[in-house]
């Protein structure tokens, strides 16, 4: 795919490059390059968010009146492309990328005024309370109870696989405020302060040795009714709106292109480019095709439209391309990649804010430090945000009319 940018777009690209050259330190670039998850380590992500916020670039997709950039679709794509090419760390999506758009679309004036500025500064760091034991892709079966008690709901239940709950100070939750014949009814979208008494967070250590996901237990947690987004009992509508942004409201193909370039470079350094070349070329074509769709989605978003069913397609194709990239990276790294073994514990047991000591005991080249951990971590890509099987069902119904 060849895209011709206007002179104004090229000037904007140069502005972004100058900014990245000045503000993105070599230490930040290397830390981002060694990420083994789609999420940056908390301290790295927050430091980079502070830099972007100071420039006014923390929330490119938000309307200007709430602190957004007012950029065109082309500018958003250029910005994401330059960030990916420079190796900038991603910002946590749960606040700015997910809860923020929901508040802009469904929140009260008071909620927008209070929460949105604190998302931008990083004072509030968010996590997502959706999945429960037995309620993952079948999210409408969730059972975390929110009992009416005057001006509050009293919440009791268990959320699972909650990314960054160990470092977040706010969580947006789907809770059940009533039992109805149709499970999607009686669900409410609720904002909860993680410092509220009755909340307990437990770590879930991953195959890659990291602590990113968590159990979150709620026991008689009192939440003001003012924290309901939308209407009580109609949270499923709010949740579906949010999931469109979670699955396809961001800009993902520039990151795939940057990763493809790094895998190609790794294969060349290891002398296996001729072996992997055809598969890398096939991936490049598929990423370009996905980028064309993404540009269409961005154009629609700039006109105020939600991503719709295309978000399911972006999520499905994007995560499967990502998994194929990790497989090729593992092949390109060869024995050096396979030799990497992260440690799941430190002396005394698991550490809540633990990150794998990627530099300890590694004898291979720098580019192979984390390929095995990335491969293991990315197996979850086709499961989180709704399994790809579920996404194909959504596409079949919403697009094909089946």
Q: Which residues are catalytic?
A: 246
- Rounded CA-CA distance 14/276 in Å is 33
- Rounded CA-CA distance 143/183 in Å is 10
Phi, psi of 245 (to 5 degrees): -75, -35
The CA–CA distances, whole Å, from 275 to 58, 83, 328 equal 41, 30, 11
Task: Give every CB contact of residue 396 below 8 A, 6+ residues apart in sequence.
Answer: 402
Closest CA to 119 of 29, 52, 174, 72: 52
CB 203 within 8 A of CB 352: yes
In 3-state terms the chain splits into helix, strand, coil percentages (rounded to 5) of 50, 15, 35
For 248, counting Cβ atoms within 10 Å of its Cβ (0-12 exposed, 13-18 middle, 19+ buried), the class is buried
Which residue's structure tokens are 């490059």?
17
Closest CA to 40 of 396, 320, 48: 48
Task: Give every CB contact of residue 78 below 8 A, 6+ residues apart in sequence.
Answer: 5, 9, 12, 13, 16
Apex 378 CA angle, 102 and 173, nearest 5: 30
The CA–CA distances, whole Å, from 99 to 79, 93, 343, 359, 380 equal 22, 9, 34, 35, 22
């Amino acid at each position: 795919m060849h895209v011709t940018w206007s002179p104004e777009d090229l000037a904007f690209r140069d502005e972004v490059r100058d900014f990245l050259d000045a503000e993105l330190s070599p230490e930040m670039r290397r830390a981002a390059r060694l990420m083994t998850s789609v999420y940056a380590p908390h301290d790295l992500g927050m430091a980079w968010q502070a830099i972007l916020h100071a420039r006014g670039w923390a929330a490119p997709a938000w309307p200007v009146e709430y602190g957004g950039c007012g950029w065109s679709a082309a500018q958003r794509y250029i910005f994401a492309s330059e960030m990916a090419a420079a190796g900038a760390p991603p910002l946590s999506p749960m606040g700015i990328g997910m809860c923020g758009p929901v508040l802009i679309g469904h929140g009260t004036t008071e909620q927008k005024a209070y929460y949105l500025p604190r998302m931008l500064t990083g004072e509030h760091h968010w996590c997502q309370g959706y999945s429960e034991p037995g309620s993952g892709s079948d999210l409408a079966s969730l059972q975390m109870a929110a009992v009416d008690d005057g001006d509050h709901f009293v919440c009791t239940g268990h959320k699972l696989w909650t990314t960054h709950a160990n470092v977040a100070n706010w969580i947006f939750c789907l809770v059940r405020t009533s039992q109805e014949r149709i499970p999607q009814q009686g669900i409410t979208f609720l904002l909860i302060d993680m410092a509220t008494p009755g909340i307990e967070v437990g770590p879930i250590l991953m195959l890659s040795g990291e602590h990113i996901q968590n159990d979150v237990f709620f026991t008689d947690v009192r939440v003001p009714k003012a924290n309901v987004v939308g209407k009580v009992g109609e949270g499923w509508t709010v949740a579906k709106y949010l999931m469109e942004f979670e699955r396809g409201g961001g800009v993902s193909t520039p990151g795939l292109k940057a990763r493809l370039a790094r895998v190609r470079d790794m294969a060349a350094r290891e002398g296996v480019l001729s072996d992997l070349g055809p598969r890398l070329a096939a991936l490049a074509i598929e990423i370009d095709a996905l980028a064309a769709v993404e540009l269409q989605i961005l154009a629609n978003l700039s006109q105020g439209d939600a991503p719709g069913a295309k978000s399911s397609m972006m999520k499905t194709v994007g995560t499967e391309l990502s998994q194929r990239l990790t497989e090729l990276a593992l092949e390109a790294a060869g024995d050096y990649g396979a030799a990497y073994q992260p440690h799941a514990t430190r002396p005394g047991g698991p550490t809540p804010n633990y990150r794998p000591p990627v530099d300890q005991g590694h004898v291979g080249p720098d580019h192979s430090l984390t390929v095995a951990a990335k491969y293991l971590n990315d197996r979850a890509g086709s499961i989180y945000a709704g399994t790809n099987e579920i996404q194909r069902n959504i596409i079949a119904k919403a697009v094909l009319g089946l």
